[in-house]
Amino acid sequence: MSRIASVAPRTTSRRALRIGAWLVVVAVVAGVLTLIVDGVAASRAEHRLARALQASPGVPFEPDVIMSGFPFLPKSTSGEFSSLFISAEGVPIPDCGVDPVCRITVDARLQDAVIGDTGEVGPETEMKAAGLKVESRVDSPTLGRLMNIVDLYINTPAPEDKIGGGGPGDGLLERTEGIMISGTVPLPGSPETQDGFPPSAAAYTAPKVKVSVSAKVFVVDGRIHIEATDFYDGPEEHYSADVPVEFRSAVLKRFSTVLPPLQMAWGGTAKHALSRGSDLVAIGDSGPVVVRPIQYAKALPSGS
C-alpha cells in the first residue's frame, strides 16, 4: 500500500512538469506570433506611408520609412511615434546637367510625431511633429558633377590626435574642416575637355594634375560653400603632385565652390554642412511642424 502511495506523488509531479513545460511552449509560441503580427503590421504601415510619400512630385522611388516604438499595434490607431524616419533616394536637384539628372538622398526625422490612424495614411494626411530634422546627402560622383571634376572623391579623415581613429568602431566620421577632396583638374591654360574627354581620361593629354586638397565646408544663406584651404599632406592615402607655385592658388580654386540650393525635405533650409564618410551632408532643423507626404520634395522646374 505504501508503495502505491509513493508512486502517486511521482506521477502527479511528472504530470505537473509536463503541463508546465507545455505552458512555457505555448507562451513562447504566443510571444513569437505576437512579434510576427506586430512586425507585419508595422511593415505594412511603413509601406503605406512610403507609398504616400512617393506621390510627392520629387520622389521618384519608394522611400525607406521607419516608425519607432514597440509594440506597434497599440500605436497604430493613434499614430503617435517618438520618431519617424524617412530616407528618399534619387531626389533631383537643379543646375547639374540634364542627362542624367543629378540626384541626392533626402532624409527627414519627425520627432514626437502624430500621423493619425496608420491604416488611413495617404498623400494628403496631416502629420504633426514637435520637431523636424532634415538632411540632404550628396555622394562623391554627384559632387564631382556639381564641381565639374569627373573623378572627384571626398573622404573624411580621422582626427589626427585620435590613436586608431577611423576604425569600424567609429562608424561614419564627420568633419566640417580638414576634409580631403581628391580629383583631376586642368592646369591654367588647358581646356576643360579635350575632344570630349575630361582631364581624368587618359586621352586628355593637355597639362593637368591629380591632387588631394584639404577643405572646409560651411553654409551661408542656405547654400553650401566648399573652400579648399591647402594641399592635403596628412596620413590618409592621397594624391600629391608637384604643382608649380604660380598655379597653386588656381588649382585650389578648382576645388572651391558654392553649390546650388539643395532640395531638402518639406522645403527645409540648410543651416550647416559637414562631410560624413564619402558624402557631403546639408543639415537643417525646425520646431513644431505640420506637413503632408505629398509635399516632401518638389519636381525640377521645367528646363532644369
The helix (run of H) or strand (run of E) holding residue 82 is strand 80-92
Instruction: Give me the residues paired with residue 291 across strands.
Output: 127
In this structure, are residues 119 and 48 in contact, taking their beta carbons and an 8 Å threshold?
A: yes
Q: Where are the alpha helices (DSSP H) in the chain?
A: 2-54, 73-76, 140-147, 248-254
**167: containing domain:** 41-295
Tell me whether residue 72 is in a domain: yes
Give the β-pairing of 103-114 and 127-139.
Answer: antiparallel
Q: Give 225-266 pLDDT, tens digit per residue.
A: 999 999 999 999 999 999 999 999 999 999 999 999 899 999
Tell me whether residue 71 is in a domain: yes
pLDDT for 247: 96
pLDDT for 18: 72
Residues in the chain, total: 304
Total count of domains within the chain:
1
Q: What is the DSSP string of 101-158?
A: PPEEEEEEEEEEEE---GGG--TT--EEEEEEEEEEEEEHHHHHHHHT-TT-EEE-PP
Number of neighbouring beta carbons within 10 Å of residue 181: 27
58 has a pLDDT exceeding 90: yes
pLDDT for 140: 97
Query: From edge to edge, which strands make up the β-sheet containing 223-231?
Result: 153-155, 179-186, 208-220, 223-231, 257-258
Tell me whether residue 93 is in a domain: yes
C-alpha radius of gyration, the chain, whole number: 28
Q: Which three cell numbers stand for residue 153?
A: 572623391
In this structure, are residues 67 and 84 in contact, taking their beta carbons and an 8 Å threshold?
A: yes
Tell me whether residue 31 is in a domain: no
The mean-pLDDT minimum among 135-139, 172-176, 281-285 falls in 172-176
Q: What is the dihedral of CA 240, 243, 249, 255, to 10 degrees?
A: -40
Q: Give 167-209 pLDDT, tens digit per residue.
A: 445 568 999 999 999 999 999 999 999 999 999 999 999 999 9
In this structure, are residues 273 and 280 in contact, taking their beta carbons and an 8 Å threshold?
A: yes
At residue 86 the predicted structure's pLDDT band, cuts being 50, 70 and 90, is very high
CA nearest neighbour of 217 among 302, 283, 128, 266: 283
Interatomic CA distance for residues 115 and 52, integer angstroms: 12
Give 51's contacts (C-beta < 8 A, 6+ positions apart). Answer: 62
pLDDT for 71: 76
Tell me whether residue 166 is in a domain: yes
At residue 19 the predicted structure's pLDDT band, cuts being 50, 70 and 90, is confident
CA nearest neighbour of 273 among 231, 234, 230, 216: 216
Interatomic CA distance for residues 113 and 138, integer angstroms: 27
**Model confidence, pTM:** 0.83
pLDDT for 258: 96
Q: Which three cell numbers stand for residue 290?
A: 505640420
Q: Side-chain half-sphere of 236: how many Cα atoms within 13 Å?
A: 23
Tell me whether residue 36 is in a domain: no
Give 57's contacts (C-beta < 8 A, 6+ positions apart). Answer: 297, 298, 299
164 has a pLDDT exceeding 50: no
Tell me whether residue 27 is in a domain: no
Which one-letter DSSP state was computed for residue 159? P
Tell me whether residue 160 is in a domain: yes
275 has a pLDDT exceeding 70: yes
Q: Which amino acid is at 179?
A: I
Q: Give 114-128 pLDDT, tens digit per residue.
A: 998 888 899 999 999
